[in-house]
Amino acid sequence: MSPWKDNEEIEIFREYLRIASVQPDIDYAPIVEFLKKQATNLGLPIEVYHPGSPSKPVIVITWVGQQPELPTIVLNSHMDVVPVYPEKWTHPPFAAEIDKEGRIFARGAQDMKCVATQYLAAIRALRKSGVTLKRTIHVIFVPDEEISGEMGMKALVKSPEFKKLNVGFCLDEGIASVNETFSLFYAERSLWHVHFIISGTAGHGSLLLKNTAGQKFHYILNKLMEFRKQEEDRLENDSSLTIGDVTTINLTIVKGGVQSNVVPPTMEAIFDMRLALNVDHDDFDRQLRTWCTEAGGEIEIQYEPREPKVEATKCDNSNPFWIAFGKATSELSLKIQPLVLPAGSDSTYIREIGIPALGFSPINNTPVLLHDHDEFLQADVYLKGIEIYNKIISAIANA
Protein backbone atom coordinates (compact mmCIF):
# COMPACT_ATOMS: atom_id res chain seq x y z
CA MET A 1 0.00 0.00 0.00
CA SER A 2 1.25 3.49 -0.84
CA PRO A 3 2.56 5.34 2.26
CA TRP A 4 0.83 8.47 0.89
CA LYS A 5 -2.58 6.90 0.25
CA ASP A 6 -4.33 8.21 3.36
CA ASN A 7 -2.44 11.48 3.73
CA GLU A 8 -5.03 14.26 3.97
CA GLU A 9 -2.87 16.90 2.31
CA ILE A 10 -1.91 14.65 -0.58
CA GLU A 11 -5.57 13.82 -1.17
CA ILE A 12 -6.57 17.51 -1.19
CA PHE A 13 -3.80 18.20 -3.71
CA ARG A 14 -4.93 15.33 -5.93
CA GLU A 15 -8.56 16.47 -5.72
CA TYR A 16 -7.54 19.90 -7.00
CA LEU A 17 -5.46 18.39 -9.80
CA ARG A 18 -8.46 16.41 -11.04
CA ILE A 19 -10.31 19.63 -11.87
CA ALA A 20 -9.35 20.09 -15.52
CA SER A 21 -9.08 23.87 -15.69
CA VAL A 22 -7.53 23.84 -19.16
CA GLN A 23 -7.14 26.88 -21.35
CA PRO A 24 -8.75 28.32 -23.38
CA ASP A 25 -12.36 27.49 -22.40
CA ILE A 26 -12.45 27.03 -18.64
CA ASP A 27 -15.41 26.52 -16.36
CA TYR A 28 -14.05 27.89 -13.09
CA ALA A 29 -17.16 26.92 -11.10
CA PRO A 30 -15.78 23.54 -9.88
CA ILE A 31 -12.68 25.28 -8.52
CA VAL A 32 -14.80 27.88 -6.73
CA GLU A 33 -16.75 25.07 -5.05
CA PHE A 34 -13.53 23.23 -4.18
CA LEU A 35 -12.06 26.37 -2.59
CA LYS A 36 -15.25 27.13 -0.68
CA LYS A 37 -14.93 23.66 0.84
CA GLN A 38 -11.28 24.36 1.74
CA ALA A 39 -12.19 27.68 3.37
CA THR A 40 -14.86 25.97 5.46
CA ASN A 41 -12.34 23.32 6.51
CA LEU A 42 -9.93 26.07 7.57
CA GLY A 43 -12.62 28.10 9.31
CA LEU A 44 -11.77 31.16 7.22
CA PRO A 45 -13.93 33.59 5.22
CA ILE A 46 -13.92 33.46 1.43
CA GLU A 47 -14.85 36.10 -1.14
CA VAL A 48 -15.39 35.73 -4.88
CA TYR A 49 -14.79 38.76 -7.11
CA HIS A 50 -15.08 39.28 -10.86
CA PRO A 51 -12.83 42.25 -11.66
CA GLY A 52 -12.28 41.37 -15.31
CA SER A 53 -15.25 39.29 -16.46
CA PRO A 54 -18.32 37.57 -14.95
CA SER A 55 -16.87 34.24 -16.09
CA LYS A 56 -13.42 34.88 -14.59
CA PRO A 57 -13.61 34.67 -10.79
CA VAL A 58 -10.93 35.73 -8.34
CA ILE A 59 -11.16 33.89 -5.03
CA VAL A 60 -9.75 35.33 -1.80
CA ILE A 61 -9.46 33.35 1.44
CA THR A 62 -8.46 35.59 4.36
CA TRP A 63 -6.81 34.95 7.70
CA VAL A 64 -7.01 38.17 9.70
CA GLY A 65 -3.87 39.00 11.66
CA GLN A 66 -3.42 40.46 15.14
CA GLN A 67 -2.60 43.85 13.64
CA PRO A 68 -4.96 44.10 10.65
CA GLU A 69 -4.04 47.73 10.06
CA LEU A 70 -0.59 46.64 8.83
CA PRO A 71 0.01 46.07 5.10
CA THR A 72 -1.10 42.52 4.32
CA ILE A 73 0.49 39.46 2.73
CA VAL A 74 -0.79 37.92 -0.50
CA LEU A 75 -0.14 34.27 -1.28
CA ASN A 76 -0.99 34.12 -4.97
CA SER A 77 -1.65 31.24 -7.33
CA HIS A 78 -3.39 30.82 -10.67
CA MET A 79 -6.14 28.29 -11.29
CA ASP A 80 -5.67 27.69 -15.01
CA VAL A 81 -3.36 25.19 -16.69
CA VAL A 82 -2.08 24.80 -20.25
CA PRO A 83 -3.46 22.24 -22.72
CA VAL A 84 -2.18 18.67 -22.91
CA TYR A 85 -1.51 16.06 -25.57
CA PRO A 86 -3.01 13.02 -23.79
CA GLU A 87 -1.40 10.58 -26.21
CA LYS A 88 2.03 11.80 -25.07
CA TRP A 89 1.32 11.03 -21.40
CA THR A 90 1.93 7.67 -19.72
CA HIS A 91 -0.71 8.57 -17.10
CA PRO A 92 -4.06 10.30 -17.71
CA PRO A 93 -3.24 14.01 -17.33
CA PHE A 94 -6.15 14.77 -14.98
CA ALA A 95 -6.35 11.56 -12.96
CA ALA A 96 -3.63 12.60 -10.47
CA GLU A 97 -2.38 9.02 -10.34
CA ILE A 98 0.40 8.29 -7.87
CA ASP A 99 2.97 5.60 -8.65
CA LYS A 100 5.09 3.42 -6.35
CA GLU A 101 7.77 6.11 -6.17
CA GLY A 102 5.23 8.64 -4.96
CA ARG A 103 5.17 10.64 -8.20
CA ILE A 104 1.83 12.38 -8.68
CA PHE A 105 1.16 12.81 -12.41
CA ALA A 106 -1.15 15.59 -13.57
CA ARG A 107 -1.21 18.82 -15.53
CA GLY A 108 -0.68 21.51 -12.90
CA ALA A 109 1.34 19.31 -10.56
CA GLN A 110 4.23 21.80 -10.81
CA ASP A 111 2.53 24.77 -12.50
CA MET A 112 1.04 25.64 -10.10
CA LYS A 113 -1.75 23.88 -8.28
CA CYS A 114 0.81 22.43 -5.89
CA VAL A 115 1.66 25.87 -4.54
CA ALA A 116 -2.02 26.72 -4.03
CA THR A 117 -2.81 23.72 -1.86
CA GLN A 118 0.55 23.94 -0.07
CA TYR A 119 -0.39 27.47 1.05
CA LEU A 120 -3.64 26.12 2.45
CA ALA A 121 -1.93 23.15 4.09
CA ALA A 122 0.66 25.39 5.77
CA ILE A 123 -2.09 27.67 7.08
CA ARG A 124 -4.03 24.65 8.34
CA ALA A 125 -0.95 23.48 10.27
CA LEU A 126 -0.29 26.96 11.68
CA ARG A 127 -3.88 27.38 12.85
CA LYS A 128 -3.95 23.92 14.43
CA SER A 129 -0.79 24.75 16.36
CA GLY A 130 -2.35 27.94 17.72
CA VAL A 131 0.06 30.31 15.97
CA THR A 132 -0.95 33.97 15.75
CA LEU A 133 0.39 36.27 13.05
CA LYS A 134 0.74 40.05 13.04
CA ARG A 135 -0.27 40.62 9.44
CA THR A 136 -3.40 39.54 7.65
CA ILE A 137 -2.92 36.91 4.95
CA HIS A 138 -4.94 36.81 1.75
CA VAL A 139 -4.68 33.57 -0.22
CA ILE A 140 -5.65 34.59 -3.75
CA PHE A 141 -6.59 32.33 -6.66
CA VAL A 142 -6.67 34.09 -10.03
CA PRO A 143 -7.77 33.01 -13.52
CA ASP A 144 -6.00 33.13 -16.86
CA GLU A 145 -2.34 33.55 -15.91
CA GLU A 146 -1.44 31.17 -18.71
CA ILE A 147 -2.96 33.57 -21.26
CA SER A 148 -1.36 36.74 -19.83
CA GLY A 149 -3.76 37.42 -16.95
CA GLU A 150 -5.70 40.22 -18.65
CA MET A 151 -8.94 39.18 -16.94
CA GLY A 152 -7.12 37.89 -13.86
CA MET A 153 -4.35 39.58 -11.92
CA LYS A 154 -4.00 42.49 -14.35
CA ALA A 155 -7.66 43.39 -13.81
CA LEU A 156 -7.54 42.62 -10.09
CA VAL A 157 -4.74 45.06 -9.22
CA LYS A 158 -6.76 47.89 -10.78
CA SER A 159 -9.92 47.03 -8.84
CA PRO A 160 -11.32 48.64 -5.66
CA GLU A 161 -11.42 45.17 -4.10
CA PHE A 162 -7.64 44.88 -4.40
CA LYS A 163 -7.11 48.34 -2.95
CA LYS A 164 -9.11 47.34 0.12
CA LEU A 165 -6.77 44.39 0.69
CA ASN A 166 -3.98 46.85 1.62
CA VAL A 167 -1.28 44.56 0.20
CA GLY A 168 2.31 45.06 1.31
CA PHE A 169 3.98 41.96 -0.14
CA CYS A 170 3.18 39.08 -2.49
CA LEU A 171 4.50 35.55 -2.70
CA ASP A 172 3.87 33.90 -6.07
CA GLU A 173 5.01 30.93 -8.14
CA GLY A 174 8.53 29.92 -9.03
CA ILE A 175 10.01 27.02 -10.99
CA ALA A 176 11.26 23.60 -9.91
CA SER A 177 15.00 23.06 -9.48
CA VAL A 178 16.82 19.95 -10.71
CA ASN A 179 19.31 20.03 -7.82
CA GLU A 180 19.18 20.75 -4.09
CA THR A 181 19.12 24.54 -4.59
CA PHE A 182 15.78 26.37 -4.61
CA SER A 183 15.20 29.11 -7.20
CA LEU A 184 13.88 32.46 -5.96
CA PHE A 185 12.69 35.02 -8.52
CA TYR A 186 12.84 38.73 -7.69
CA ALA A 187 12.19 40.18 -11.18
CA GLU A 188 11.03 39.36 -14.68
CA ARG A 189 12.09 40.38 -18.13
CA SER A 190 9.69 42.49 -20.19
CA LEU A 191 7.74 40.59 -22.84
CA TRP A 192 7.41 42.19 -26.26
CA HIS A 193 5.64 40.46 -29.13
CA VAL A 194 6.83 42.50 -32.09
CA HIS A 195 4.86 42.37 -35.36
CA PHE A 196 6.67 43.68 -38.43
CA ILE A 197 4.12 44.48 -41.17
CA ILE A 198 6.35 44.69 -44.24
CA SER A 199 5.20 46.24 -47.53
CA GLY A 200 7.12 45.91 -50.77
CA THR A 201 7.00 45.67 -54.53
CA ALA A 202 4.64 43.00 -55.81
CA GLY A 203 4.73 41.17 -59.15
CA HIS A 204 5.60 38.04 -61.05
CA GLY A 205 7.84 35.47 -59.40
CA SER A 206 10.06 35.26 -62.52
CA LEU A 207 11.41 38.81 -62.10
CA LEU A 208 14.12 40.40 -59.96
CA LEU A 209 11.99 43.15 -58.48
CA LYS A 210 13.48 45.81 -56.23
CA ASN A 211 12.43 46.46 -52.62
CA THR A 212 10.27 43.37 -52.16
CA ALA A 213 8.79 42.47 -48.79
CA GLY A 214 10.99 39.38 -48.79
CA GLN A 215 14.18 41.41 -49.19
CA LYS A 216 13.18 43.75 -46.37
CA PHE A 217 12.28 40.81 -44.14
CA HIS A 218 15.67 39.28 -44.88
CA TYR A 219 17.44 42.43 -43.69
CA ILE A 220 15.45 42.67 -40.46
CA LEU A 221 15.82 38.96 -39.77
CA ASN A 222 19.62 39.20 -40.17
CA LYS A 223 19.84 42.15 -37.78
CA LEU A 224 17.74 40.41 -35.14
CA MET A 225 19.63 37.14 -35.48
CA GLU A 226 22.96 39.00 -35.14
CA PHE A 227 21.66 40.57 -31.93
CA ARG A 228 20.42 37.16 -30.76
CA LYS A 229 23.87 35.66 -31.38
CA GLN A 230 25.49 38.39 -29.27
CA GLU A 231 23.19 37.51 -26.38
CA GLU A 232 23.89 33.80 -26.87
CA ASP A 233 27.62 34.48 -26.69
CA ARG A 234 27.22 36.59 -23.54
CA LEU A 235 25.31 33.79 -21.85
CA GLU A 236 27.80 31.12 -22.88
CA ASN A 237 30.91 33.11 -21.96
CA ASP A 238 29.81 34.45 -18.57
CA SER A 239 29.03 31.73 -16.02
CA SER A 240 27.45 34.29 -13.68
CA LEU A 241 24.60 34.85 -16.13
CA THR A 242 21.41 32.80 -16.48
CA ILE A 243 18.80 32.92 -19.24
CA GLY A 244 16.86 35.58 -17.31
CA ASP A 245 19.83 37.95 -17.48
CA VAL A 246 19.94 38.24 -21.27
CA THR A 247 17.52 39.36 -23.97
CA THR A 248 16.01 36.52 -25.98
CA ILE A 249 14.67 36.90 -29.52
CA ASN A 250 12.81 34.18 -31.41
CA LEU A 251 10.99 34.26 -34.73
CA THR A 252 7.62 32.61 -34.06
CA ILE A 253 5.26 33.39 -36.97
CA VAL A 254 5.69 34.37 -40.64
CA LYS A 255 2.66 35.21 -42.80
CA GLY A 256 2.39 36.28 -46.43
CA GLY A 257 1.77 35.32 -50.01
CA VAL A 258 -1.12 33.80 -51.93
CA GLN A 259 0.57 31.75 -54.63
CA SER A 260 4.05 30.35 -55.25
CA ASN A 261 4.69 32.44 -58.39
CA VAL A 262 3.38 35.75 -57.04
CA VAL A 263 5.69 38.12 -55.13
CA PRO A 264 3.43 39.33 -52.28
CA PRO A 265 2.83 43.02 -51.54
CA THR A 266 3.00 42.41 -47.78
CA MET A 267 4.51 40.01 -45.27
CA GLU A 268 4.17 39.83 -41.52
CA ALA A 269 6.87 38.51 -39.20
CA ILE A 270 6.28 38.10 -35.48
CA PHE A 271 9.05 37.81 -32.91
CA ASP A 272 8.89 36.86 -29.25
CA MET A 273 11.31 39.16 -27.41
CA ARG A 274 12.08 39.11 -23.68
CA LEU A 275 14.02 42.22 -22.72
CA ALA A 276 16.63 41.92 -19.98
CA LEU A 277 16.52 44.27 -17.00
CA ASN A 278 19.43 46.36 -18.30
CA VAL A 279 17.77 47.17 -21.65
CA ASP A 280 16.51 50.73 -22.19
CA HIS A 281 13.09 50.23 -23.77
CA ASP A 282 13.05 53.48 -25.74
CA ASP A 283 16.53 52.83 -27.13
CA PHE A 284 15.54 49.32 -28.15
CA ASP A 285 12.39 50.54 -29.90
CA ARG A 286 14.46 53.14 -31.78
CA GLN A 287 16.92 50.46 -32.87
CA LEU A 288 14.10 48.33 -34.30
CA ARG A 289 12.73 51.31 -36.22
CA THR A 290 16.19 52.20 -37.53
CA TRP A 291 16.58 48.70 -38.94
CA CYS A 292 13.18 49.06 -40.61
CA THR A 293 14.35 52.27 -42.29
CA GLU A 294 17.63 50.68 -43.36
CA ALA A 295 15.70 47.73 -44.81
CA GLY A 296 13.95 50.07 -47.22
CA GLY A 297 11.07 51.56 -45.24
CA GLU A 298 7.34 50.94 -45.54
CA ILE A 299 7.49 48.69 -42.48
CA GLU A 300 5.01 49.12 -39.66
CA ILE A 301 5.76 47.88 -36.15
CA GLN A 302 2.94 46.73 -33.90
CA TYR A 303 3.35 45.51 -30.32
CA GLU A 304 1.05 42.96 -28.72
CA PRO A 305 1.98 43.15 -25.91
CA ARG A 306 4.71 45.65 -25.11
CA GLU A 307 5.27 45.23 -21.39
CA PRO A 308 6.74 48.21 -19.54
CA LYS A 309 9.98 48.16 -17.62
CA VAL A 310 9.09 46.99 -14.11
CA GLU A 311 11.42 47.56 -11.18
CA ALA A 312 12.83 44.47 -9.52
CA THR A 313 11.92 43.61 -5.95
CA LYS A 314 14.67 44.87 -3.67
CA CYS A 315 16.83 42.09 -2.29
CA ASP A 316 18.50 44.02 0.52
CA ASN A 317 17.94 45.25 4.05
CA SER A 318 15.51 47.94 2.87
CA ASN A 319 12.94 45.21 2.26
CA PRO A 320 11.69 43.68 5.54
CA PHE A 321 9.99 40.85 3.69
CA TRP A 322 13.24 39.91 1.96
CA ILE A 323 14.92 39.82 5.38
CA ALA A 324 12.12 37.66 6.82
CA PHE A 325 12.18 35.27 3.85
CA GLY A 326 15.96 34.93 4.11
CA LYS A 327 15.83 34.31 7.85
CA ALA A 328 13.22 31.57 7.43
CA THR A 329 15.07 29.77 4.65
CA SER A 330 18.35 30.11 6.53
CA GLU A 331 16.83 28.48 9.62
CA LEU A 332 15.66 25.65 7.37
CA SER A 333 19.20 25.37 5.90
CA LEU A 334 17.85 25.82 2.38
CA LYS A 335 20.14 26.82 -0.45
CA ILE A 336 18.48 29.72 -2.27
CA GLN A 337 19.51 31.17 -5.66
CA PRO A 338 18.01 34.59 -6.47
CA LEU A 339 17.22 34.83 -10.20
CA VAL A 340 15.38 36.82 -12.84
CA LEU A 341 12.41 34.75 -14.03
CA PRO A 342 13.01 33.92 -17.72
CA ALA A 343 9.28 33.67 -18.51
CA GLY A 344 6.36 35.64 -17.08
CA SER A 345 4.02 35.42 -14.11
CA ASP A 346 1.37 37.46 -12.33
CA SER A 347 4.12 38.94 -10.15
CA THR A 348 4.86 41.50 -12.85
CA TYR A 349 1.46 43.17 -12.29
CA ILE A 350 2.11 43.27 -8.55
CA ARG A 351 5.57 44.81 -8.95
CA GLU A 352 4.25 47.25 -11.55
CA ILE A 353 2.09 48.95 -8.90
CA GLY A 354 5.03 49.16 -6.50
CA ILE A 355 4.42 46.12 -4.30
CA PRO A 356 7.40 43.81 -3.67
CA ALA A 357 6.91 40.23 -4.87
CA LEU A 358 8.96 37.05 -4.83
CA GLY A 359 8.38 33.97 -6.94
CA PHE A 360 9.06 30.72 -5.12
CA SER A 361 7.95 27.12 -5.50
CA PRO A 362 9.40 24.78 -2.83
CA ILE A 363 10.39 22.14 -5.38
CA ASN A 364 13.95 20.87 -5.67
CA ASN A 365 15.70 17.71 -6.89
CA THR A 366 12.92 17.50 -9.48
CA PRO A 367 12.96 17.71 -13.30
CA VAL A 368 11.40 20.92 -14.63
CA LEU A 369 8.19 19.73 -16.29
CA LEU A 370 5.89 22.74 -16.38
CA HIS A 371 3.95 22.69 -19.70
CA ASP A 372 5.61 19.34 -20.51
CA HIS A 373 4.22 15.84 -20.95
CA ASP A 374 4.00 13.64 -17.82
CA GLU A 375 4.22 16.61 -15.48
CA PHE A 376 4.62 15.27 -11.95
CA LEU A 377 5.57 16.17 -8.40
CA GLN A 378 6.89 13.67 -5.89
CA ALA A 379 4.70 13.31 -2.78
CA ASP A 380 7.57 13.71 -0.33
CA VAL A 381 8.71 16.90 -2.09
CA TYR A 382 5.16 18.20 -1.88
CA LEU A 383 4.90 17.47 1.85
CA LYS A 384 8.33 18.99 2.53
CA GLY A 385 7.14 22.09 0.69
CA ILE A 386 4.31 22.48 3.18
CA GLU A 387 6.84 22.55 6.02
CA ILE A 388 8.88 25.15 4.13
CA TYR A 389 5.85 27.38 3.57
CA ASN A 390 4.88 26.97 7.21
CA LYS A 391 8.15 28.63 8.20
CA ILE A 392 8.15 31.25 5.43
CA ILE A 393 4.53 32.33 5.93
CA SER A 394 5.10 32.74 9.67
CA ALA A 395 8.19 34.85 9.02
CA ILE A 396 6.78 37.22 6.41
CA ALA A 397 3.44 37.64 8.23
CA ASN A 398 5.35 38.70 11.36
CA ALA A 399 7.78 40.99 9.51
Domain with CATH 3.30.70.360 in the chain: 190-306
CATH architecture entry for 8-173+361-397: 3-Layer(aba) Sandwich (3.40)
So what's the pLDDT on residue 2? 67
Q: What is the mean pLDDT of residues 177-181?
A: 97
Cα torsion through 169, 172, 176, 182, rounded to 10? 10
Residues in the chain, total = 399
Residue 287: closest CA among 234, 236, 249: 249
- The string of pLDDT tens digits covering residues 19-60 is 999 999 999 999 999 999 999 999 999 999 999 999 999 999
- The string of pLDDT tens digits covering residues 291-349 is 999 999 999 999 999 999 999 999 999 999 999 999 999 999 999 999 999 988 999 99
| Beta-sheet strand order (sheet of 137-142) | 46-53, 56-63, 137-142, 72-78, 167-172, 357-359, 182-188, 336-341
Beta bridge partners of 74: 138, 170
Domain with CATH 3.40.630.10 in the chain: 8-173+361-397
Domain 190-306, CATH 3.90.190.20 — does that match? Answer: no
Q: What is the mean pLDDT of residues 385-394?
A: 98
Tell me which residues are annotated as active site. 80, 145
Cα torsion through 51, 57, 58, 62, rounded to 10? 120
Q: What is the mean pLDDT of residues 251-268?
A: 97
| Beta-sheet strand order (sheet of 248-256) | 248-256, 266-275, 190-199, 299-306
Q: SS3 breakdown of the chain: % helix, strand, coil, rounded to 5?
A: 35, 25, 40
Mean pLDDT value across the chain:
97
CA distance 279 to 382: 37
Whether pLDDT at 1 is above 70:
no
CA distance 125 to 141: 20
**Amino acid letter for position 206:** S
- The SS3 call for residue 226 is helix
- The string of pLDDT tens digits covering residues 60-78 is 999 999 999 999 999 999 9
Reported pTM:
0.93
Residue 241: closest CA among 277, 272, 270: 277
